[in-house]
């Protein structure tokens, strides 16, 4: 593999790395399923059962097994290598999605218990293409500056996938039943994973080494993940809260819920801009310092959102908050990758990913309680205060270096 140390870091340089474009495009194809399959499952279950409660339970099981078992699936990839682990994983996942689509194609064809079990199993087998791709970036771009740009590009592309996925579902259900979206999601996952594992960059990734000792099978050799996991959980919580607060703010000021979509679009736009700028700048500050500053910036912006008097000013404040979101997540992934032992890099990324998604789930639940008791502005300020506390907590934790020291607790 050619060295990248003599290449001036840029997004173009990232895509010029041998095999990078092919590998990245295949991974993105598979990851588009993440934006299509869950929404399609929810719409199909709602149509089939006629119950939002059933749809909520099915989606909760699908999301819970997908999110919280992600580190376990990542451990399989670290242990056996991407090719040996991903192929059976995607086969089972796609097969279960296909079964769900068949059950949901006609309304009332399956019992809620069968749907819940199928969704839980499908979520449990979701291939962690995101963490695996980030681990491959670490092999393709060993230069830290180039790797930062690769991670930033990856984060922005992933955000665009999560925005475009639901839009594609909206177009699809205009002429096909929602279950067709599940089939499309499964097909994208199969096609993307097939292209990914056949890439020379992935074929060269070796299987991990089994550590000697009685606890080798269950022990994850992950070092210094407290800082990135705390930051990731914090930004996830903020995102989960903001999504609901924006809707509550819009309705409280006499606007329809549709107006909230423009404010949330401003959040995504700000995040994309922030992610691209973060990757383009050659930072002198350490990643740990940047992480705490980014968390503080997000907290201050959310406190500012609490002062908004109208939807326009809220959109501006939320867009400013978004500028810190993608850089914060990218920096958390960088620190996790640097801190992890070489045989646990996919797991390290999966822990950060799990923290973000768990934070989003917890934030949405907390917001649902808070908006019934407090004005939206106070809730925004409280969320900002939580992020400021997160920034302080992150700043108090020391940096960890890859492959040195002893395993430490996650928190």
Q: What is the pLDDT of residue 42?
A: 87
Q: What is the pLDDT of residue 203?
A: 81
Whether residue 59 contacts residue 38, with contact meaning beta carbons closer than 8 Å, is answered with: yes
Model confidence, pTM = 0.82
Say how far apart CA 230 and CA 184 lie, in whole Å: 35
Q: What is the pLDDT of residue 217?
A: 37
Whether residue 241 contacts residue 366, with contact meaning beta carbons closer than 8 Å, is answered with: yes
Q: What is the pLDDT of residue 294?
A: 94
For 110-141, the pLDDT digits (tens) are 888 999 999 999 999 999 999 999 889 888 88
Residue 214 — φ and ψ, nearest 5°?
Answer: -70, -25
Say how far apart CA 350 and CA 154 lie, in whole Å: 15
Domains 11-203 and 226-395 share a fold: yes
Say how far apart CA 324 and CA 355 lie, in whole Å: 17
Question: Which CATH code is given to the segment(s) 226-395?
Answer: 1.20.1250.20
Distances (CA, A) of 370 to 92, 175, 232, 299, 386: 40, 39, 22, 18, 14
Whole-angstrom distance between the N-terminal and C-terminal Cα of the chain?
36
Say how far apart CA 287 and CA 295 lie, in whole Å: 12
Q: Where are the domains of the chain?
A: 11-203, 226-395
Chain-wide mean pLDDT for the chain? 84
Q: Where are the alpha helices (DSSP H) in 281-310?
A: 287-305
Q: What is the pLDDT of residue 148?
A: 84
For the chain, list residues with pLDDT below 50. 1-5, 212-221, 399-411
Q: What is the pLDDT of residue 159?
A: 84
Residues 6+ apart with CB under 8 A from 265: none
Q: What is the pLDDT of residue 164?
A: 86
* Residue whose structure tokens are 């997908």: 66
**Helices 179-197 and 20-49 meet at what angle, rounded to 10?**
160
- Three-class SS of residue 143? coil
Q: What is the pLDDT of residue 167?
A: 84
Our separate counts of H helices and E strands in the chain read 16, 0
Whether residue 294 contacts residue 324, with contact meaning beta carbons closer than 8 Å, is answered with: yes
Q: Where are the alpha helices (DSSP H) in 220-310?
A: 226-252, 257-280, 287-305
CATH class of 11-203: mainly alpha
Q: What is the pLDDT of residue 256?
A: 65
372 is written with which tokens?
């019934």
Q: What is the pLDDT of residue 209?
A: 61
């Amino acid at each position: 593999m050619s060295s990248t140390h003599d290449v001036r870091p840029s997004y173009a340089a990232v895509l010029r790395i041998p095999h990078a474009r092919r590998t990245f495009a295949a991974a993105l194809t598979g990851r588009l399923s993440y934006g299509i399959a869950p929404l399609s499952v929810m719409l199909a279950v709602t149509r089939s059962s006629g119950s939002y409660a059933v749809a909520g339970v099915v989606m909760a099981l699908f999301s819970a097994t997908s999110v919280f078992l992600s580190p376990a699936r990542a451990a399989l990839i670290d242990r056996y290598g991407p090719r040996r682990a991903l192929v059976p994983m995607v086969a089972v996942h796609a097969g279960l999605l296909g079964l769900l689509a068949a059950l949901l194609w006609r309304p009332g064809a399956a019992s809620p218990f069968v749907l819940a079990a199928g969704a839980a199993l499908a979520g449990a087998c979701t291939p962690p293409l995101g963490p695996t791709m980030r681990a491959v970036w670490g092999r393709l771009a060993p230069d830290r500056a180039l790797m930062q740009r690769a991670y930033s590009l990856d984060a922005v592309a992933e955000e665009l996938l999560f925005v475009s996925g639901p839009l594609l579902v909206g177009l699809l259900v205009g002429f096909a039943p929602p279950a067709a979206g599940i089939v499309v999601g499964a097909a994208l996952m199969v096609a993307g994973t097939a292209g990914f594992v056949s890439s020379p960059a992935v074929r060269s990734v070796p299987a991990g080494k089994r550590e000697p000792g009685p606890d080798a099978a269950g022990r994850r050799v992950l070092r210094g993940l407290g800082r990135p996991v705390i930051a990731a959980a914090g930004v996830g919580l903020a995102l989960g809260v903001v999504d609901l607060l924006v809707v509550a703010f819009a309705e409280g000021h006499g606007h329809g819920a549709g107006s909230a979509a423009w404010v949330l679009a401003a959040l995504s736009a700000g995040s994309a801009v922030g992610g691209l700028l973060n990757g383009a700048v050659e930072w002198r500050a350490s990643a740990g310092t940047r992480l705490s500053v980014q968390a503080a910036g997000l907290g201050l912006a959310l406190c500012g959102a609490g002062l908004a008097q109208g939807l326009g000013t809220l959109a501006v404040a939320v867009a400013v908050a978004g500028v810190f979101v993608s850089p914060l997540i990218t920096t958390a992934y960088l620190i996790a990758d640097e801190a992890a032992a070489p045989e646990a890099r996919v797991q390290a990324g999966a822990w950060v990913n799990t923290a973000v998604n768990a934070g989003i789930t917890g934030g949405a639940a907390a917001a649902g309680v808070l908006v019934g008791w407090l004005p939206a502005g106070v809730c925004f300020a409280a969320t900002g205060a939580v992020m400021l506390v997160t920034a302080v907590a992150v700043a108090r934790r020391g940096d960890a270096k890859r492959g040195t020291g002893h395993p430490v607790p996650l928190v």
